[in-house]
Structure 1
Amino acid sequence: MTLPEPVADGVQALYEDDDLLVLCKPPGMLCVPGRGPDKQDCLSARSQQRWPGALIVHRLDQATSGLVLMARHIDMQRRLSHAFAERQVHKRYQAVVQGLLGPVEQTWQEIDLPIAADWERRPLRVIDQTLGKPSQTRWRLLAQDGVAHTSRVELEPITGRTHQLRVHLAALGHPILGDTLYADEAAQQKAPRLLLHACVLEFAHPRHGAPCRFESAPDF
């Protein structure tokens, strides 16, 4: 086990070994290069400068901050990709949403709404009971602010659809603050960025099976 330097090219590195990396992506950074010369700066490019051969395993939206797991070589990328596909990697997020969700309770609740691509407004997604793919998100209320009329929630995606957490919360009538895709103008104006952060990654290390858990507190 190697504890890396706290910051690498603006990306916080929480952990590294010969097989994998756990990084904390800042908001506004792409995970992989986009189209055009102005979209080449990204998490994978910066990581490869310090860890040659580093490979993306999963992604966060550009606007989302938080924990990203990367592989150091192709065999580990295959193993980790399989773990994600088999839902053996457990992720949790925190978000601040518009509106009050009721009394603070520790019990988890589930959103079960199918998500489909909105082909006329790509890259947007929509709830579609006919064409949508099964999509489930567990959530619980952590706190609420009666003055600001907002709630802080913890989220656990069961499936991994594009924009799943953003679409599901908006469908409940509680969009994430700062969400320029799914929130109304009032919710967008309440935050300078999307208030969504990947705060927990938990999995068994593919090399030796030891349990791994990493946490990153949101800065909002």
Structure 2
Amino acid sequence: MNEKELPFDIMSRLIYRDALMLVIDKPAGMPVHPGPRSGTAKSNETLSDHLDALRFGVPRRPELAHRLDRDTSGCLVLGRHRKALDKLGRLFRSGKVEKTYWAVVEGGPADEAGEIDLPLAPRDPSRGWWMKVDPAGQPALTRWRVLGRGEGLAWLALTPVTGRTHQLRVHCAAAGFPIRGDAIYGHAPRTGGPGLHLHAAALAIPLYPNRAAVRVAAPAPAHMHAALTAAGWRGTMPADTTAETSKA
């Protein structure tokens, strides 16, 4: 793919860089790599098409240390070489990376903070990404906290303690407050909706021994601004956006 044809400049999306990793602000609507759906899309463009531009003198291009869904925006970590990827992979798999998502949900919880502890399993084995609550599924735990409220909606900080496919989307829907713009688990139309209001807002990555965790944050995407503002957002990152106050 000719880089001039790409709809955005990945360099402008770079929010952190050091010798081991990069963090970029992934746009909503773009898959991180080719998949079954990308072959039928109007454009087969994926984030992977851009990664060569992020070498910064390293012989090999950086690669993904974890994933975000196509319609989720925000902090996405890349490892700059094999050793870095191995280390980052261990941190993500062991749950040592603190992840905070922002979501605007329909309605909202009655309480100000809590947990959703519901196991998840594939709804259809032929579509492994399509999930459901299932007592026989894998354990899944999400912590949440209300950051603001508006008419008919709430702004939440979500912390996925486990990392199941579509965990936050399924958990919010099962708890009675689906994420705004969710055409799979919520009430949004398949086309022409407001876009999924789920954003990987911040990460804390304990990458280096005897040093504080690397903390990064990505600004809220434009398609979420109106709903966030209606729920009390003032255009900046609050001092505390995590859901950790809901720990037992």
TM-based fold match above 0.5: yes
User: What one-letter code is carried by the residue in structure 2 that aligns with 1:132?
Assistant: G
Which position in structure 2 is the counterpart of 1:115? 120
SS in 1 for 2:115: strand
User: What one-letter code is carried by the residue in structure 1 that aligns with 2:140?
Assistant: S
Structure 2: how far apart are the matches of 1:185 and 1:44? 28
Aligned pairs for 1:4-23 (under 5 A) are 8-9=9-10, 12-23=13-24
Deviation at 1:210, TM superposition (A): 4.3
Q: Mark the runs of 5 or more structure 2 residues left unpaired by the alignment.
A: 1-7, 225-248
1:157-204 Cα offsets, whole Å, 9 max, x none, are: 000000000000000111101101101248x79952000000011012
Answer whether contact 1:76 1:206 (CA < 8 A) is retained.
no
Question: How many residue pairs align between the two structures?
Answer: 207
Answer whether contact 2:180 2:188 (CA < 8 A) is retained.
no
Which position in structure 1 is the counterpart of 2:69? 61
Q: How much identity, in percent, do the aligned residues show?
A: 36
SS in 2 for 1:118: strand
Which position in structure 2 is the counterpart of 1:140? 145
Which position in structure 2 is the counterpart of 1:4? none
- Against the structure 1 CA distance between its residues 151 and 135, is the aligned structure 2 distance closer, same or farther, given a 3 Å change threshold? same
Answer whether contact 1:57 1:71 (CA < 8 A) is retained.
yes
- Against the structure 1 CA distance between its residues 201 and 85, is the aligned structure 2 distance closer, same or farther, given a 3 Å change threshold? same
- Against the structure 1 CA distance between its residues 192 and 215, is the aligned structure 2 distance closer, same or farther, given a 3 Å change threshold? same
User: What one-letter code is carried by the residue in structure 1 that aligns with 2:147?
Assistant: L
Root-mean-square deviation (CA, aligned residues, Å) is 2.4
Please tell me whether residue 202 in structure 1 is matched to residue 208 in structure 2: no
SS in 2 for 1:77: helix
2:165 maps to which of 142, 162, 166: 162
So what's the TM-score if we normalise by structure 1? 0.85
Please tell me whether residue 79 in structure 1 is matched to residue 87 in structure 2: yes
So what's the TM-score if we normalise by structure 2? 0.76
Which position in structure 2 is the counterpart of 1:41? 45
Structure 2: how far apart are the matches of 1:195 and 1:10? 24
